[in-house]
Structure 1
């Protein structure tokens, strides 16, 4: 561009270029940006890398909008567990909303009962009950402090009975971070695609292109919600938890938009889609070779 008569004329404008995590680490060494107890990053650990490659059976199952109050959803989960009972996945990631009818005076009790029903289903499959982990990421309409990010986990009084029945269960914040061997995974449950389309400066020429533009925006901005605060409010003290720098190995953005799988700057970005709304679709990730199946 050029500057003339106190006017700045712009030829072109775009995002900052995304930086592969290998480049970032070449500058910063093995500082741990990701989080967790260690001050050093385990990214360069040869031992963990070997474990990761040897464990070919490891798989993660991602399901979003697990409406536990819908009989059909519980039935499909039954079918899923039956299919996986002979080879239990390493971990099931269940993202909210955990109820199709948000809010209301009975929501807390209804959610407790729904979780109890899910625990009973899991207990019917002993191999999965003993061999798999279960991670629950709250959704925007689950009980909690409104729409401010990051969101705390579901309250302990709601999840207590479930945790007693399924000891290998973890109720996390939203977003949450998972370290598997040398891989860094960020999981975020938010209906972001709609918000970003409504607030974008220039809309993609084709709707087929939306997932690519969406992923590029998030990775270029280095933040999970590159939106004005009145659109997506943030607790400033915890804003660092929404940052995606250095770029993680995998970014799971669970959104009600159509499912997609996009790779950008060596980061695998997936959206499992809304389980009940997308014909019960979900995504399966194999960390040993970094592949995704629908």
Structure 2
């Protein structure tokens, strides 16, 4: 058994989770710009091809962001995966490349990791009616994690704006239950495919909750859940490493 483990490359134990937005173009792009996105993914694939052991043995999970071009409406949760046509070069080079939905769930060493790419803290603070009690903590990140985990839902925001917009268009509200909101009924918070609302549930609470946000990094433990935000890599070249064996989160960065 020991010899067999020694023959397995160390890279086979690595899982790389990349969260969008992957471009600054946004989802409302012209067909002429889609070739640019394909080219960008090709450049990343060429970079990974220079590390053949990682490209062959490691797991790569691509989670789309709020403004990525996906299979489905970008304004409705859960978001569909990235189109294979855009990431074709990545799929050729990386042996284990998974185009995930948003949110995504990954099971590692018997632990459930829930990954949600959304600027959730900003939206929660924008819709906050009663200021959170600061007697226990003044950390808004802890208030956010507590709200999400205790509520058992990744997106505890109201759908009032969408409902009003549908009413203004003289459309029945139940349309929202089965289809994405019309373009004129755009909601700043977002809307939900109610048939797939279970994808946003947190019952039971996961071992790891990744709230990928553009805000500053944080990591904390709430109950039995380890929660953290890797922040925006493009701003200061930072990311997070989770070690399932010890359930530790390590902040990492590059000196550019």
When residues 240 and 86 of structure 1 are mapped into structure 2, their CA distance, relative to the original with a 3 A threshold, is: closer
List alignment gaps of at least 5 residues for structure 2: 162-188, 252-256
Match of 1:77 in 2: none
Give the alignment's Cα RMSD to 1 decimal: 2.0
Q: Deviations over 1:186-227 (max 9, x none)?
A: 111111110000001223477951100000010111000000
| Contact 1:133/1:169 (8 A) holds in 2 | yes
Match of 1:111 in 2: 37
Are 2:128 and 1:210 aligned? no
| Contact 2:11/2:58 (8 A) holds in 1 | no
Mapped to 1, the partners of 2:55 and 2:154 lie a distance apart of: 33
Match of 1:139 in 2: 65
| Contact 2:55/2:93 (8 A) holds in 1 | no
Match of 2:221 in 1: 263
When residues 107 and 95 of structure 1 are mapped into structure 2, their CA distance, relative to the original with a 3 A threshold, is: farther
Mapped to 1, the partners of 2:102 and 2:144 lie a distance apart of: 19
Match of 1:173 in 2: 101
Match of 2:205 in 1: 247
State the TM-score, normalized to the length of structure 1: 0.67
* Alignment partner of 1:96 out of 12, 20, 23: 20
Measure how far apart 1:97 and its partner are: 0.4
Mapped to 2, the partners of 1:236 and 1:215 lie a distance apart of: 23
| Contact 1:95/1:136 (8 A) holds in 2 | yes
| Contact 2:48/2:93 (8 A) holds in 1 | no
Mapped to 2, the partners of 1:235 and 1:86 lie a distance apart of: 40
Mapped to 2, the partners of 1:134 and 1:193 lie a distance apart of: 26
Mapped to 2, the partners of 1:175 and 1:107 lie a distance apart of: 26
Matched residue SS, 2:88? helix
Mapped to 2, the partners of 1:261 and 1:183 lie a distance apart of: 17
Match of 1:195 in 2: 123
State the TM-score, normalized to the length of structure 2: 0.77
Q: Deviations over 1:249-292 (max 9, x none)?
A: 00101011111101101100111001112x11100000111001
Are 2:52 and 1:130 aligned? no
Match of 1:25 in 2: none
Are 2:92 and 1:164 aligned? yes
Mapped to 2, the partners of 1:255 and 1:197 lie a distance apart of: 14
Higher relative contact order, structure no. (Cα contacts within 8 Å, ≥ 6 residues apart): 1
| Contact 2:12/2:54 (8 A) holds in 1 | yes
Measure how far apart 1:181 and its partner are: 2.8
Matched residue SS, 1:225? coil
Matched residue SS, 2:78? coil
Measure how far apart 1:125 and its partner are: 1.0
Mapped to 1, the partners of 2:155 and 2:220 lie a distance apart of: 18
List alignment gaps of at least 5 residues for structure 1: 1-54, 56-84
Mapped to 1, the partners of 2:239 and 2:45 lie a distance apart of: 20
